[in-house]
Amino acid sequence: MTAVCAQPSSTTPPNGNEDDAESTETSFPFKLIVSFQFFADSSTALMLDNSGSVWLTRDEGKTWSYAYRSNGTSGSIVSEVKMHPYKSSCAILIVPKGRSQITSDYGSTFRPLFGPNEQVSTSYFVTPTAFKRTDPNTFILVKYVCSPLCHSDAYITTDLGVTFTKLTAYVRKCVFGQSAQADIMPKGKLKNK
């Protein structure tokens, strides 16, 4: 079975009559679309399929190509596409048991987060937890680590994921102080004495 998507070739037909709009139909080699997200203010979008691969369109869905292709092993399967809320050209592909990837050029290129010497077999990303509104190059990732005991470590980058500095260990979630929603404690767990 293949997924089929139909997308209008333009939002307004040349003659202004919506009955004359053209459409394009594309067949894909997967069964389900997991997520579909446009880069802000762009005709470029990323689509995550159920095999863990990510597809790219630059023309609002008329044509598609692989942005990141999973080889089917657990270390190459993307589980989530996280769009950067304050940098419209940036997205992070979460690869839980492998090397998560980042793009800062609307999906033209991807590079791994963390370096090639990282012990992939003993750690993987949980999720980007906080993006800094006042500095889009700064964000925090929480990474699950099993070395020697399993726990979560928080890392911060100030250069859009080129380098990371460890903040602290045994964390659940991090937020920046100016964040509007700082819901980091489970509800009903705090008691005043």
Return the domain boundaries, the chain: 3-13+22-169
pLDDT of residue 38: 95
Express each pLDDT in 142-177 by its tens digit.
Answer: 888 777 788 888 889 999 988 889 999 988 888 888
pLDDT band at 95 (very low <50, low <70, confident <90, very high): confident
Q: Across the chain, what does the average pLDDT equal? A: 79
Stretch 54-63: mean pLDDT, rounded?
92
pLDDT band at 125 (very low <50, low <70, confident <90, very high): low
Q: Say if residues 79 and 96 touch (Cβ distance below 8 Å).
A: yes
Secondary structure letter of residue 18 according to DSSP? G
pLDDT band at 193 (very low <50, low <70, confident <90, very high): very low
Report which secondary-structure segment, H or E, holds 126.
strand 123-131
Indicate the CATH number for domain 3-13+22-169: 2.40.128
